[in-house]
Amino acid sequence: MAQIGQHARLPIVKLVDFGAYLDAQELGNVLLPKRYLDDSMSLGDEIDVFIHLDSNDIPVATTLKPRACVGESAYLPVADINDAGAFLDWGLPKHLLVPFNEQHKRFEMGRSYVVTLFLDPYSQRIAASSKLNRHLEENGKALKINQAVELLICGKSDMGYKAVIDHHYLGLIFRDDAFRQLSYGERIQGYIKNIRRDGKIDLSLQPSGDKGRDRLQQKILDHLKANGGRSDLNDRAQPDDIYREFNVSKGAYKKALGALYKQRLIVIDHQEIRLI
């Protein structure tokens, strides 16, 4: 079903001088302006489009792809500020409004912010908010321990880093589980470490327990096989180099090397590690 603020694949039902009308089901026929058409498109063709509202609040289609859809979160730069609020560059000519009452603090020109996109229930206009706890779920009872998730770093506190989880939840990476400096607006893979009794979500940058250790050991073996059985990422390697290759802390990496060494699968020396 075609929805405002979402991508859809819609058929051309009418060609006109100023574009083409697409069948958007419950939304009726929506215009795809001529600038998004090419000569190969004809009646009946299905076109991948994004549905939004034009300046007259009428549903319209575009083949441009915004950096986020309704229900998703993104790190976006401020393009303008006026009496209505702040406007963000999200990849479409019509900028994305963040009303003043949806700003956790007043936005400033030249800065970027983590926001989540939503439909205004009254106007059906696409808007955004940096008050993430208004729109995102903080109860993770439906999630599973060690589940791999996509994280968007959205804040920092004395305890650690706040993150948007898979666009839908909010969680916390404790400082000891971060093992490196994280940046506001950074996207990174993470894992569900724990679901507290109140449903709050604790996160980690690497899987925990036997499953995580076994997975890392296999990744090291695969890395060695792909590099002729040798690698200079031994137990003295720099933490950044280890993280760049394996997305884990140096401590976790050294434990995995030790386990592989005890299994007599690798040799470790001062310069490298080698497959036996």
**Domain parsing of the chain, residue ranges:** 7-62, 73-134, 148-204, 209-275
Tell me: the pLDDT tens digits for 57-113? 899 999 999 999 999 999 999 999 999 999 999 999 999 999 999 999 999 999 999
Orientation of helix 239-246 relative to helix 209-226, angle to 10°: 90
Six token digits for residue 162: 């706040």
Which pLDDT value is given to residue 212? 65
**Nearest alpha carbon to residue 191 among 219, 210, 171, 218:** 171
> Looking at the domain that runs over 73-134, which CATH code has it been given?
2.40.50.140
Which pLDDT value is given to residue 169? 98
| C-alpha span between 75 and 88 (Å, rounded) | 10
Which pLDDT value is given to residue 21? 96
| C-alpha span between 255 and 73 (Å, rounded) | 35
Which pLDDT value is given to residue 211? 62
Six token digits for residue 143: 């999630």
Q: Regarding the domain delimited by 7-62, which CATH topology (the fold level of the hierarchy) does it fall under?
A: OB fold (Dihydrolipoamide Acetyltransferase, E2P) (2.40.50)
pTM, rounded to two decimals: 0.81
> Looking at the domain that runs over 209-275, which CATH code has it been given?
1.10.10.10
Query: What CATH class is the domain 148-204?
Result: mainly beta
Q: Which residues of the chain have pLDDT under 70?
A: 209-212
Same fold, 148-204 and 209-275: no
**Nearest alpha carbon to residue 215 among 191, 196, 194:** 191
Q: Is the dihedral of CA 149, 150, 155, 160 positive or negative?
A: positive
Run of H or E residues at 209: helix 209-226
Which pLDDT value is given to residue 66? 97
